[in-house]
Amino acid sequence: MEKFGIYVHWPFCLSKCPYCDFASVPCHAADEDLLLAGYLRDLKDLPKRPVTSVFFGGGTPSMMSEKLLERILHQVEQSFGFAPNIEISLEANPDAITKEKMIAFKQIGVNRLSLGVQALNDADLKFLGRIHSAKTALTRIEQMHQIFDNCSIDLIYARPNQTMEEWEKELKQVLSFDLPHISLYQLTIEEGTVFDRKGIEPADDETARNLYLKTIEMTDLAGIPLYEVSNFAQSGFECRHNLLYWQGDDYAGIGPAAHGRLGLIATENPKKVDEWIKKGTSKTTLTATERFEEKLLMGLRLRKGMSATGIHPDKLEKAVRQGWLLYNPRNEWMAPTMEGLMMLNQLILMLV
């Protein structure tokens, strides 16, 4: 069956983290009737085809009520139909979910939970502006793991002054949970964030590189290898929805700030809730070259790589000589080396 996913954007969080440039604003009392009307309107415009994954992202979608989640999923199922083995993921934060809510979300249909833990010690959580404690994070990880077979946590590393020993110890603790999936992101300072304004510096390049190599080594040994630049999974637990993006499949985005790709049609929703409600989705048609370059940009993030069809042999040869790419001319398949993954932007520039 052809893959097709729906991304649902929830635009609120309990507070704004100083490193975050996602489309989210602090809010404790969302107008769910207004949001529901907008989500249903966005769904109406989409081509009717079975959905292989739904991803509730944000923001902190675990803040949404069970009632709203149920209404959205019900409408998706009614209008499009769920493919067999559909993956329904939801992002949660330790302080914005309870064990009872996890159980309720599961009963409604969520079958994959992803918890934004970010660090396992209180000092670093405070630095990252997170409102939960390490103790709450550990409790939620345990509860999530009991309730969801398919689950994940996010952590941020390469924090300022973080040493190799500290990260090794923390990563060892993460791996001891035996979760099927983890996402490990290096701290980056995004323009316009509080960290940017404060002049916070992340780890230097060499430290970040060594931390990354150690992370790959430890996760490989633990049987949860890297499958995408920042994502690690036990076999069969790779996030199917995110794979849609990396493999260049079709997906629709509903809600403020959501994007979609339907063939060559790119869709985009305004970031602010009131503008999104008023204006709805805008569509543009990409050229075949634009879409090809997007697919290259996303596909080379995968450790297993992608088809090299359409790339000039001289460029492939240059990237192979550089030590950034593996290329098999028999099946026209290419995959980044570890060095290539770390030099991804340069590798992509070399190939386009």
3-class DSSP string for 105-165 = HHHHCCCEEEEEEECCCHHHHHHCCCCCCHHHHHHHHHHHHHHCCCEEEEEEECCCCCCHH
Exactly one of 6, 8, 13, 189 binds ligand SF4 (CB under 6 A); that residue is 13
Distance of alpha carbon 222 from alpha carbon 216, whole angstroms:
10
Span 54-73, contacts to ligand SF4 by CB under 6 A: 58-60
Least CB distance from residue 85 to ligand SF4, whole Å? 28
Q: CA 295, CA 349: separation in Å to the nearest integer?
A: 13
Question: Does 22 participate in binding ligand SF4 (rule CB under 6 A)?
Answer: yes
Q: Quick one: which segment of 20-28, 42-50, 174-182, 326-334 binds ligand SF4 (CB under 6 A)?
A: 20-28
Nearer to ligand SF4, 195 or 237 (CB): 195
Between CA 296 and CA 231 the distance in angstroms is: 18
Q: At a CB cut-off of 8 Å and minimum separation 6, what does 31 contact?
A: none
Residue with tokens 């975050």: 20
Only segment of 12-20, 38-46, 63-71, 284-292 that touches ligand SF4 (CB under 6 A):
12-20
CB nearer ligand SF4, residue 5 or residue 116: 116
Site string for ligand SF4, 285-314 (x = CB under 6 A): ------------------------------
Q: Rounded to an integer, what distance in angstroms lies between the CA atom of residue 83 and that of residue 283?
A: 26
Size of the site for ligand SF4 (CB under 6 A): 11
- Please provide the size of the chain in residues: 352
Closest separation between CB of residue 9 and ligand SF4, Å? 11
Sign of the torsion formed by the C-alpha atoms of 86, 91, 97 and 98:
positive
Q: How far is the CB of 158 from ligand SF4 (least distance, A)?
A: 16
Residue 82 to residue 109: CA distance in whole angstroms: 11
Q: How far is the CB of 63 from ligand SF4 (least distance, A)?
A: 10
Cα(221)–Cα(174) distance, integer angstroms: 13
Site string for ligand SF4, 107-146 (x = CB under 6 A): ---------x------------------------------
Minimum gap (Å) between residue 24 Cβ and ligand SF4:
4
Q: Which residues sit at the interface with ligand SF4, rule CB under 6 A?
A: 13, 16-17, 20, 22, 24, 58-60, 93, 116
